[in-house]
Amino acid sequence: MKTKEEYVRMLHVKMDEMSAEIDALTAKAGGVAADVRQEYHEQIEILKAKQTVARQKMEELQHAGGGAWEDMKSGVDLAWTAIGEAIDSARNRFK
């Protein structure tokens, strides 16, 4: 079982990876046809909103005391799963 600190470090790594994925999709959006570009930007905005939620959950978990962080862990995991699925969906959609 991971300690709170290990879990938070893992979340920071995931956040960095998520940011890189969003940046890559944003860069790719600049090179697509105008009719598809709007859809790219809509998907990117959805990803950024999910990233904000994930970041908020991570910060709440960081400030949780004692065993409360373990109770919050499932909510954080759900947020990360949702953003991961959204990134995969966007990446596959715009291949």
Tokens in use for 23? 């940046």
Q: Residues 80, 14: contact at Cβ < 8 Å?
A: yes
Q: How far apart are CA 48 and CA 12, in angstroms?
A: 16
Q: Residues 18, 51: contact at Cβ < 8 Å?
A: yes
Q: Residues 42, 29: contact at Cβ < 8 Å?
A: no
What pTM value is reported for the model? 0.78
Residue tagged 């290990």 (tokens): 6
- How do residues 47-78 score in pLDDT, each as one tens digit? 899 889 888 888 888 888 877 878 888 888 88
Q: How far apart are CA 62 and CA 31, in angstroms?
A: 39
The helix (run of H) or strand (run of E) holding residue 11 is helix 4-29
pLDDT greater than 80 at residue 93: no
